[in-house]
Chains A and B, each alone.
Chain A
């Protein structure tokens, strides 16, 4: 797995047109999220500041994506919404991967009853349906962006933990680890010097594939009314569009952009992650 050199990696990656396309889309959305305050005046998000605007206006020169039931610009909501989706997606993934990696490394390395106990816990979390658990947690904890991040990470770490543990178990049996031990290396040294570098590529690939799942979960929770009420997000836009009756009014401009944004970002991360996984895991390359 580590046999892939950096040059080789870049060459393979550049050849994968779908992955490059995914990367380009991601850069575009990242720029939009970062530059949101420059692109759009955040007054456009406030219902009070939009009092003079026409409500339910279809797309025109004044409002590129029309306005919603309160006269707010849908385009402005779209631009600002990307921030929450990307932020939650990335933060939740970082925590997911952190929890999963710690559990995986500890279980794989400690072995015996620690391994058995941690894997039992992992199995429990794997079987409990993810969304109902997230809903219950979010309902109990209350609405807020950090609560959403916590809920997503605490419900999605098990698959990473399993993956990392399996990898640790194979690395652990390698000769160079035995050699390091024979030379008197401490557990911590072995983990840091030999195990982590070998597990890292796999963690990276699994992280890229965890982002789209986190984003989809955030959107769903926001749609169910469990998102942060103070911040514009794509899921919240869709919820408001639905509640305000955009569908029966035929106001497609209200609910189409946010959904397309989600699809684009999720698809881009998936394409990117699959390419990464394929390059790093030779077994998948022939597919």
Chain B
């Protein structure tokens, strides 16, 4: 890859990150002019107490002073204090981080692998029964709200059939450790993970399918066939590697969607991750927590985009240069 390409992408990502930080500050300090007032609405606080709170949350001084104070704290890794738990936001987020990484990571991988496999088969034999069936299925999953799918799954598999636990990270009061604990946690993760994977598998299938349709007409496939390669070989060695590129760029975009989808799905399965933390912060409303979560979600998606852009540049020399 050319160095210029890499530097350009990194700078682009950095500028987006700066934009997010500014938006974050603007939303919580300018649109919502006096957070202390709205946080403690309905409670009897003396003017003195309010002033002290403003000082504590860096809310005194001009907007510009507040902005620099916010940046200074941010650079030191300080995201403020959660209003609900009275603990640092970073601690709260840190605890909720791993359950979400496990859930979203597994769900993204599953939906990508299954979606791509479906797309390959559907696009290779256009208008076959498999193609029509899988496209209908994809359109359907695209239209289903992920949280409603989660409610249906919970009602059917956990409540009616009792195959899966109704929620949580592990059995309440479990004393298991090691492998049994891990198995218990996987059992709890299975249903929310499946719901997220099904909700997003359709998009991968649709994109992979249309990319295959574009590739099928290429000359180099004719050449490969003329060489006498079997159909399966042509598909595996020549069609798929070329057609899979658009899926690479979709995966970063979709990562953001799955992360968002986990907000509602996690709260339905009481999965103690970032999604449930978001819902609790909305209920508060716990503004410092919401601010920290928004920053984290955005940073994760920006990094995923950067990684995918660089990967794309590496895989496709026309984009990244050699």
Is there an interface contact between B210 and A259, defined as CB atoms closer than 8 Å? no
Chain A residues in 8 Å Cβ range of B256:
129-130
Q: Using A128-B20, A128-B298, A248-B166 as known contacts, say yes or no to A135 and B278 having CB atoms under 8 A apart.
A: yes
How many Å lie between the Cα of A255 and that of B155 in the bound state? 10
Is there an interface contact between B159 and A247, defined as CB atoms closer than 8 Å? yes
CB distance from B157 to the nearest CB of A (A): 11
How many Å lie between the Cα of A220 and that of B282 in the bound state? 13
Q: Using A129-B301, A271-B139 as known contacts, say yes or no to A238 and B147 having CB atoms under 8 A apart.
A: yes
Across chains A and B, the number of contacting residue pairs, with CB separation under 8 Å, is: 129
Chain B residues in 8 Å Cβ range of A206:
none
Is there an interface contact between B264 and A127, defined as CB atoms closer than 8 Å? no
Is there an interface contact between A136 and B294, defined as CB atoms closer than 8 Å? yes
- Residue in chain A with minimal CB distance to B210: A287
Is there an interface contact between B143 and A259, defined as CB atoms closer than 8 Å? no
Chain B residues in 8 Å Cβ range of A137:
27
- Residue in chain A with minimal CB distance to B209: A287
Pick the contact of A139: B20, B144, B267, B282 (CB < 8 A). Answer: B282
Q: Considering the complex, which residues of chain A in the window 263-283 have a beta carbon less than 8 Å from any beta carbon of chain B?
A: 263, 266-267, 270-271
Number of interface residues of B (CB under 8 A): 52
Is there an interface contact between A140 and B28, defined as CB atoms closer than 8 Å? yes
CB distance from A21 to the nearest CB of B (A): 12
Pick the contact of B260: A124, A132, A226 (CB < 8 A). Answer: A132
Chain B residues in 8 Å Cβ range of A129:
256-257, 259-260, 297-298, 301
CB distance from A35 to the nearest CB of B (A): 24
Over the window 269-310 of chain B, the binary record of Cβ atoms lying under 8 Å from chain A Cβ atoms (1 yes, 0 no) is 000000000110011010100110110011001100100000
Q: A133-B294, A139-B285, A270-B142 are in contact. List 17 more A-B contacts (CB 8 A).
A: A128-B19, A128-B23, A129-B259, A130-B260, A136-B24, A136-B27, A140-B32, A223-B145, A224-B267, A224-B279, A224-B282, A225-B282, A238-B147, A259-B152, A262-B144, A262-B148, A263-B145
Number of interface residues of A (CB under 8 A): 42
Is there an interface contact between A223 and B264, defined as CB atoms closer than 8 Å? yes
Interface residues of A (CB under 8 A from B): 120, 123-124, 127-133, 135-137, 139-141, 212, 216, 219-220, 223-226, 238, 241-242, 247-248, 250, 252, 255-256, 258-259, 262-263, 266-267, 270-271, 287
In order of increasing CB-CB distance, the 9 nearest A-B pairs are: A131-B260, A259-B148, A266-B143, A129-B256, A267-B143, A132-B297, A124-B19, A247-B155, A129-B301
| Contact of B15 with A by CB under 8 A | yes
CB distance from B284 to the nearest CB of A (A): 9
